[in-house]
Amino acid sequence: MKRIWGIIKKDTVLLIAWILAILSCFFVKPSLSYLGYIDYTTLALLFC
């Protein structure tokens, strides 16, 4: 339990991002058109 609490304290922003991402799943219906929204060129530049 101490280890989990330590991770939560260390990565608070990541935890909040995960919680908001999970909550957004309940408000937005998934569809195949979302795959067209991703700009793979920009993602490749960011990863490089």
pLDDT, residue 44, reads 94
Which H or E element spans position 36?
Answer: none
Please state, in angstroms and as integers, the Cα–Cα distance from residue 9 to each residue in 1, 6, 23, following that order. Answer: 12, 5, 21
pLDDT, residue 3, reads 83
pLDDT above 90 for 36 = no
pLDDT, residue 33, reads 83
40 phi and psi angles, rounded to 5 deg: -70, -30
pLDDT, residue 8, reads 76
For 8, residues 6+ apart whose C-beta sits below 8 A from its C-beta are: 15
Domain count, the chain: 1
pLDDT, residue 12, reads 86
Residue 13 belongs to domain spanning:
2-47
Please state, in angstroms and as integers, the Cα–Cα distance from residue 19 to each residue in 15, 30, 42, 45, following that order. Answer: 6, 18, 25, 27
| pLDDT per position as a tens digit, 9-31 | 888 898 899 899 899 888 888 78
